[in-house]
Each structure stands twice: as structure tokens, then as C-alpha cells.
């Protein structure tokens, strides 16, 4: 029976509090994406029971209702008609969701958005510092050579001029002109100002200003006495100043006549911002930043590693809450000490905590009797070993809770041992195994990771038990079924494959069992994984059907069988195909690549087109997907899996 799209839309509207409770609405290939004003008005149980809604979850401030390819766009049109909401792009929904978040979460997200783009510069400089130290230890007198001076220039660049990098990145995040952000950072480092690292040295003050009392001269501006020193190594004052600059610039753009906006707005913006920065923002927030930095620096080493123990214990919970990006300020502040030659003593805490979560997740994967749990836990743990803990924490440890706690305990003990041994790093941005690239002592770092791993793994292995209703589940079948395909079907498949050169390398990846067993070949070459390993909650849950994920090694998707195109999304990253054999297949390139709005994608088919096995459907740029920060995994799902006795992946 066909879905009543109007009824589905009306029931959704009724159970979300009506159209007045909708901030923004959009859809992708499979989901209705909504931003809700008041979540207390949601009837989640009723939403899940609506005919046509295959699943529901909340992510990034969005309510996402899984409806399915070829159907979601029709329900979406009816939803707009029922609620009176305006159609929005995926970017509009994303922005609206961010605006709905609590203030503290928006602040933390903004900090993450500022620091993440500049981490490669910080890490590369840290690696250069490590190389210089290694060469100095291996070659006597290397520190006095021209090569050392040249490499040192590179090694300290990012830290010495950090306010400029932060100014540019913050301007991009807050919507200000990035070049105004850069000039603000430059002004705070102007050579006419005393270097901030020399503020506490009377000799340096006397030599720089030609005075004898060891006091920094001031500029008397109105009733302010501005001390003539720079802000090397400071981060918070730059961020606050650029945020205020963005507000001033935006206001001026709205009120200054267009005829003179080009030169009046930038001039007034920098004049107002510079005045506020050097009279109020700089003095207040640099002092505040110094207090915060001193507190955390002391906490890391206090009481025989007790402070590090506490920090290591709570760190994974800050990841769960999305607060861990705030620690970038602490790490960069540590590195900026001592003329840009400071050491990062917070990195060992984060690294120990992350490595312990890797151990706990791996223990679950090894001990579990469930194939599905193993398939999720083991790859997620490998990612955590490289410092990317979200798959392990959200996919496994938080779900079972005990592994998260065991990892917290292991991370705490590892962090304490690292503090006692004096483990430190020359940069930030990487933890776990990649952390070897930036640590000062690989031996003590290894001992710290071994302690964190051993404690967390042992505790998690002892305490983890499979859920009773999931242990040795009777419905858990082998990924392959015995082949029982008539000779005529085999012959037809072989003839179709011979017609397309591209299909020579494409192996069967899905078997759908009905009256016969149907094999579906991959639409692209690459490593095949079960759909439960797809790094997206909706796809991995099976709500959209069973199938596979493919980590592609090429950039062209072809049709896996003869059929008709039943859906094509505007962003060109997903198509739906219906075959004569009754199979309805969704091919979705990338995870969350709907946010790219078609950039890097080319679609060669339209709704209603007839395609042959091997016909080109979509091409895409893996580099652009990676640059945008998304996974390029190609999702292949049988969306009408419920019509078959079994749909199983062939991943061998």
C-alpha cells in the first residue's frame, strides 16, 4: 500500500508542536531535517510510530526523521504545505541548529572552529622543534650552526606570531573581514611595542625604551594609561577583540551609505577595535588568561600527579559534552611561554585519556560474542588509538557505559604517571600513536600509554558483558547465504557484466534472498564493510535497509544492474535505482556530504532515466570531500529489504 504523504506530514507536524515550533526545515536523500524551537513539545514516541517514519534521532541540534529515498522529498513538500514553513537549504538548517544551541555550547563550538584550522601550522612547528633537538643531540655543536638558526626560524614561527593566525581564523568564524583580523593581530605584535615575553625583565625594559627605572612607558589616551607592550603568546584577547570587531563591522555595513561604505567601514572598524583592544580588552583578558594558564599549569603537576589524575578522569566526559576544544587555549598558552619555546604538559593528559578509551573499546570488541559488536568496536578502537575517539566513545563505550568509566580510570592513572615522569610535547593537535611525533621523550611517553592501556583494557575486559537480549542472538545470520541461482539468471548476469569494461573489477557485495538468491555487484571498487560499520547512525541502524559501505579507491559510481532512476538529490551525491528484479537500491556518496551542496559532485542521470548495468551515475572528488572534513564512504543499501527473506552483505 502506497504511503499517504499528506497524512505522514500532518502527523509529523502534530507531534512536533505544529508549524510555529519549526525554526527551519530541509531534507537530504533520506531524511527530513528539522530545527525545533521548543523540544519539550516533541512527542518522540508518536513520531517513531508514524507510518512512513523509519527512525528518528537528534544530531547537531537537528531532529532527523528517516523517511527514505524517493519518499522524503514528497513528504517534505507536503510538510511545507501543512506547516507553512519555508523551504531551507541544508546550510540554513545547520546554521539554525547552531543558533538554537545553549550559549556555552556555542562558545565552545566557536573556539573549536577557530583553532582547528590552525592546528597543522602548530603541529608542523612542533615537529620541527623536535627535529632540531634530535639533531642537536646527535651532532655536537649543531646549535651554533647556520642550519640551526634557519630551522629555529621555522620552528617558532607559528607560536611567535600566533595572534595573527588566531585573528584570521576568528574573523572567518565571526564573519569579519579576515584581513582586518590579520591586521589586528599584527598590531598586537608591532615591533614598536615591548615583546610580551620581556614584560617581567627590568633589564629588557630599560634596554628597549632607554629608561633606567625598569618601568614600561605608557601612552595617555583620554583617561587610559596604555602600557606599550605587545601580546605575544596571548590568545583570548585576540578572540574577544575580533568578535567585537565583527559586531562593529556588521553594524557599520548596515548603516553606512553604500557610496562610502568601502573606505568608511574598514577605517571606523579598525579605529574603534584598536582603541578597545589596547585600552580595555587587552589588559583585562590577558591578565585573565595568565591566571587561567597558571592555574592549569599548576594543576597538572600538583600533589604527586593528583591534579593530572583528576584531569585525566574527566577528559573523556568533556569529549562527550563537546567541551574538549577549549583545552586548545591552555595548550597553545603553554607553548607560547619562554619566548615560544614552552612545553605542552596538557597533551599527555589528553593522550592518556584517549588511549585508555581505545583500550576499553578494544576489550569490548575482543570479549563480545556478538559479530555486530565486534564489527563496530574493533575498527572504532583503532581510530581511537590514532587520537580520534568519537567513534569509540559514542559508538561503543558510552553505549555500554562501563567501558567509558573503565577508560576514564585508565586515563586518569596514565595521566598521573605521565605527570610524575614529566612527559611533555612541543606542539598540540595530535594524541595517541601520532603523539610520538611531538613528545620530548618517547620512552616515558610509551610507559604512560602502556599504563593507561593496561588498566583500561583489564577493567573493561573484566566488567563487560553482552546485553542479555543480544548475546548469541538467534537472528544473527552469516553474512553469506548459499548460492541457489538458476543457470538462466547466472548467464544473464554474466552477459550483462561482459558489456561494461568497468564492471570487470566489481565483485558481488550484497545477496538478497527471495524465491532465488540475487547477487548485487558493487557500484564502485574499494574496501567493502557491512552496513553496521558505516559511520552514520541512520545508515548503521538498518532503518534505511541492509547493505554495505564501500571505502572507494576510484571516483566514479556506475549502475550495478539494469533499472530505472527513481530519485536524484539536488546536491548530486545520491541516487535511487529500481531494478526489474524488485530491488530498490540507494547509492549515497559520502557521509553528511549533503552539506557540500553539490561541490565536487557530478550526476549523469535524472529522474525516470533507464540505465544499463555499468552506466555511469555519479562522479565525485575524494580530495574535495576530504578537504570538507567528511568521509567519502559510498553507502549501498537495499531500501526495500523488508520485502526479502534476507538481505546480507558479502564482505569477504
Asked whether 524 and 616 are in contact (CB, 8 A), the reply is no
Choosing from 229, 325, 573, 588, the catalytic residue is 588
- 311 labelled catalytic: no
Residue 362: give the domain boundaries.
308-463
Is 424 in the same domain as 544? no
> What is the rounded distance in angstroms from the CA atom of residue 502 to the CA atom of residue 523?
9
Is 395 in the same domain as 446? yes
Model pLDDT, residue 523 = 92
The tens digit of pLDDT for each residue in 31-41 reads 888 888 888 88
Asked whether 608 and 544 are in contact (CB, 8 A), the reply is no
CATH of the domain at 543: 2.70.70.10
In a domain, 302, yes or no: no
Average pLDDT over every residue of 462-480: 50
The tens digit of pLDDT for each residue in 622-651 reads 988 887 878 899 999 988 887 777 888 876
Is 314 in the same domain as 207? no
Q: Is the pLDDT of residue 469 over 70?
A: no
Is 116 in the same domain as 85? no
Helices H, strands E: what count in the chain? Answer: 26, 19
DSSP state letters, 544-596 = T-EEEEEEESSSEEE-SSSEEEEEE-TTSSEEEEEETTS-EEEEEESSSGGGG
Is 428 in the same domain as 345? yes
Using DSSP's 3-state secondary structure scheme, residue 511 falls into: strand
Is 46 in the same domain as 155? no
> What is the rounded distance in angstroms from the CA atom of residue 342 to the CA atom of residue 332?
9
In a domain, 478, yes or no: no
> What is the rounded distance in angstroms from the CA atom of residue 635 to the CA atom of residue 624?
18
Q: Which of 101, 133, 148 is the last residue of a domain?
A: 101
Model pLDDT, residue 497 = 40
Is 276 in the same domain as 344? no
- 28 labelled catalytic: yes
Mean pLDDT, the chain, rounded, equals: 82
In a domain, 480, yes or no: no
% of the chain exceeding 70 in pLDDT: 86
231, exposed or middle or buried, with CB in 10 Å at 0-12, 13-18, 19+? buried
DSSP state letters, 254-303 = HHS-HHHHHHHHHHHHHHHHHHHIIIIIHHHHHHHHHHHHHHHHHHHHST
Is 121 in the same domain as 263? yes
Which strands sit side by side in the sheet containing 22-27, from one edge to the other? 22-27, 31-36, 62-66, 55-59
Nearest to 25 by CA among 70, 85, 97: 85
Model pLDDT, residue 504 = 54
Average pLDDT over every residue of 371-391: 78
Choosing from 28, 311, 361, 603, the catalytic residue is 28
Is 642 in the same domain as 570? yes
Residue 353: C-alpha distances to residues 14, 364, 377, 598 (Å): 44, 17, 17, 38
Model pLDDT, residue 321 = 65
The three cell numbers locating residue 146: 647556520
The tens digit of pLDDT for each residue in 562-596 reads 898 888 888 889 998 988 678 889 999 998 888 88
> What is the rounded distance in angstroms from the CA atom of residue 489 to the CA atom of residue 518?
9
* Contacts of residue 12, Cβ cutoff 8 Å, sequence gap at least 6: 32, 47, 50, 53, 65, 75, 79
The number of domains in the chain is 4
Is 358 in the same domain as 292? no
Q: Is the pLDDT of residue 255 over 90?
A: yes
Q: Is the pLDDT of residue 209 over 70?
A: yes
The tens digit of pLDDT for each residue in 506-537 reads 777 788 777 667 888 899 988 888 888 888 87
In a domain, 559, yes or no: yes
Q: Is the pLDDT of residue 479 over 80?
A: no
Model pLDDT, residue 100 = 60
In a domain, 570, yes or no: yes
In a domain, 481, yes or no: no
CA angle centred on 291, ends 153 and 241, rounded to 5°: 65
Q: Is the pLDDT of residue 331 over 90?
A: no
Q: Which of 73, 101, 129 is the last residue of a domain?
A: 101
In a domain, 477, yes or no: no
Q: What is the pTM of this model?
A: 0.55
> What is the rounded distance in angstroms from the CA atom of residue 32 to the CA atom of residue 271?
46
Cell 593530572 sits at which residue? 308
Q: Which helix (H) or strand (E) covers residue 431, if one does?
A: none
Is 410 in the same domain as 529? no
* Contacts of residue 609, Cβ cutoff 8 Å, sequence gap at least 6: 564, 565
CATH of the domain at 90: 3.30.1360.60
% of the chain exceeding 90 in pLDDT: 31
Is 443 in the same domain as 514? no
Using DSSP's 3-state secondary structure scheme, residue 229 falls into: strand
Q: Is the pLDDT of residue 317 over 80?
A: yes
> What is the rounded distance in angstroms from the CA atom of residue 140 to the CA atom of residue 610?
73
Using DSSP's 3-state secondary structure scheme, residue 512 falls into: strand
The three cell numbers locating residue 188: 598586537
In a domain, 468, yes or no: no
Does residue 69 or residue 172 have the better pLDDT? 172
Q: Which of 278, 297, 316 is the last residue of a domain?
A: 297
Asked whether 458 and 342 are in contact (CB, 8 A), the reply is no
> What is the rounded distance in angstroms from the CA atom of residue 578 to the CA atom of residue 592?
23
Asked whether 303 and 416 are in contact (CB, 8 A), the reply is no
Average pLDDT over every residue of 533-555: 84
> What is the rounded distance in angstroms from the CA atom of residue 495 to the CA atom of residue 407?
54
Amino acid at each position: 500500500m502506497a504511503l499517504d504523504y499528506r497524512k505522514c506530514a500532518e502527523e509529523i507536524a502534530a507531534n512536533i508542536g505544529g508549524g510555529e515550533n519549526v525554526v527551519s526545515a530541509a531534507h537530504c536523500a533520506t531524511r527530513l531535517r528539522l530545527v525545533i524551537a521548543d523540544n519539550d513539545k516533541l512527542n518522540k514516541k508518536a513520531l517513531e510510530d508514524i507510518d512512513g517514519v523509519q527512525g528518528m534521532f537528534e544530531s547537531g541540534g537537528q531532529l532527523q526523521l528517516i523517511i527514505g529515498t524517493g519518499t522524503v522529498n514528497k513528504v517534505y513538500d507536503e510538510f511545507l504545505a501543512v506547516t507553512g514553513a519555508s523551504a531551507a537549504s541544508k546550510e540554513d538548517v545547520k546554521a539554525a541548529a547552531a543558533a538554537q544551541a545553549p550559549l556555552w555550547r556555542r562558545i565552545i563550538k566557536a573556539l573549536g572552529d577557530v583553532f582547528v584550522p590552525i592546528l597543522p601550522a602548530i603541529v608542523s612547528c612542533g615537529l620541527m622543534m623536535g627535529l632540531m633537538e634530535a639533531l642537536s643531540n646527535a651532532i655536537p655543536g649543531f646549535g651554533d650552526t647556520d642550519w640551526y638558526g634557519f630551522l629555529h626560524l621555522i620552528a617558532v614561527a607559528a607560536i611567535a606570531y600566533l595572534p595573527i593566525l588566531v585573528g584570521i581564523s576568528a574573523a572567518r568564524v565571526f564573519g569579519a573581514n579576515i584581513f582586518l583580523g590579520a591586521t589586528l593581530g599584527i598590531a598586537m605584535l608591532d615591533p614598536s611595542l615591548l615583546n610580551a615575553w620581556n614584560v617581567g625583565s627590568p633589564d629588557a625594559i630599560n634596554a628597549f625604551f632607554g629608561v633606567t627605572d625598569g618601568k614600561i612607558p605608557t601612552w595617555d589616551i583620554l583617561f587610559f594609561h596604555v602600557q606599550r607592550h605587545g601580546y605575544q603568546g596571548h590568545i583570548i584577547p585576540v578572540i574577544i577583540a575580533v568578535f567585537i570587531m565583527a559586531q562593529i563591522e556588521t553594524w557599520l555595513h548596515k548603516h553606512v551609505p553604500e557610496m562610502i561604505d568601502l573606505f568608511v567601514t574598514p577605517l571606523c572598524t579598525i579605529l574603534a577595535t584598536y582603541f578597545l583592544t589596547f585600552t580595555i580588552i587587552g589588559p583585562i583578558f590577558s591578565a585573565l588568561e595568565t591566571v587561567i594558564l597558571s592555574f592549569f599549569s599548576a594543576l597538572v603537576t600538583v600533589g604527586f600527579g593528583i591534579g593530572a589524575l583528576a584531569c585525566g578522569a574527566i577528559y573523556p566526559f568533556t569529549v562527550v559534552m563537546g567541551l574538549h576544544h577549549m583545552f586548545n587555549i591552555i595548550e597553545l598558552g603553554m607553548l607560547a611561554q619562554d619566548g615560544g619555546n614552552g612545553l605542552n604538559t596538557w597533551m599527555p593528559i589528553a593522550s592518556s585519556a584517549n588511549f585508555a578509551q581505545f583500550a576499553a573499546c578494544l576489550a569490548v570488541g575482543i570479549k563480545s560474542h556478538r559479530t555486530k559488536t565486534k564489527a563496530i568496536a574493533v575498527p572504532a578502537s583503532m581510530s581511537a588509538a590514532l587520537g580520534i575517539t568519537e567513534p569509540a566513545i559514542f559508538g561503543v563505550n558510552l553505549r555500554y557505559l562501563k567501558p567509558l568509566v573503565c577508560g576514564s580510570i585508565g586515563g586518569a592513572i596514565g595521566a598521573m604517571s605521565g605527570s610524575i615522569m614529566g612527559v611533555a610535547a612541543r606542539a598540540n593537535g595530535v594524541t595517541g600513536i601520532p603523539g610520538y611525533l611531538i613528545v620530548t621523550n618517547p620512552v616515558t611517553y610509551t610507559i604512560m600509554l602502556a599504563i593507561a592501556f593496561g588498566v583500561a583494557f583489564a577493567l573493561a575486559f573484566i566488567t563487560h558483558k553482552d546485553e542479555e537480549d543480544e548475546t548469541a542472538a538467534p537472528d544473527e545470520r552469516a553474512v553469506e547465504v548459499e548460492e541457489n541461482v538458476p543457470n538462466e539468471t547466472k548467464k544473464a548476469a554474466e552477459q550483462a557484466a561482459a558489456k561494461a569494461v568497468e564492471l570487470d573489477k566489481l565483485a558481488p557485495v550484497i545477496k538478497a534472498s527471495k524465491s532465488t538468491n540475487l547477487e548485487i555487484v558493487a557500484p564502485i571498487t574499494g574496501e567493502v564493510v557491512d552496513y553496521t560499520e558505516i559511520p552514520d547512525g541512520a545508515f548503521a541502524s538498518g532503518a534505511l535497509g541492509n547493505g554495505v559501505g564501500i571505502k572507494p579507491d576510484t571516483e566514479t559510481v556506475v549502475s550495478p544492474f539494469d533499472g530505472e532512476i527513481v530519485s536524484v538529490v539536488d546536491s548530486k551525491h545520491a541516487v535511487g535505482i529500481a531494478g526489474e528484479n524488485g530491488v530498490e537500491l540507494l547509492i549515497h556518496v559520502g557521509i553528511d556530504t549533503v552539506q557540500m551542496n553539490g561541490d565536487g559532485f557530478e550526476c549523469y542521470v535524472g529522474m525516470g532515466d533507464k540505465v544499463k548495468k555499468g552506466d555511469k551515475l555519479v562522479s565525485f572528488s575524494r580530495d574535495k570531500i576530504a578537504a570538507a572534513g567528511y568521509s567519502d564512504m559510498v553507502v549501498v543499501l537495499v531500501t526495500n529489504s523488508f520485502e526479502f527473506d534476507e538481505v546480507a552483505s558479502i564482505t569477504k
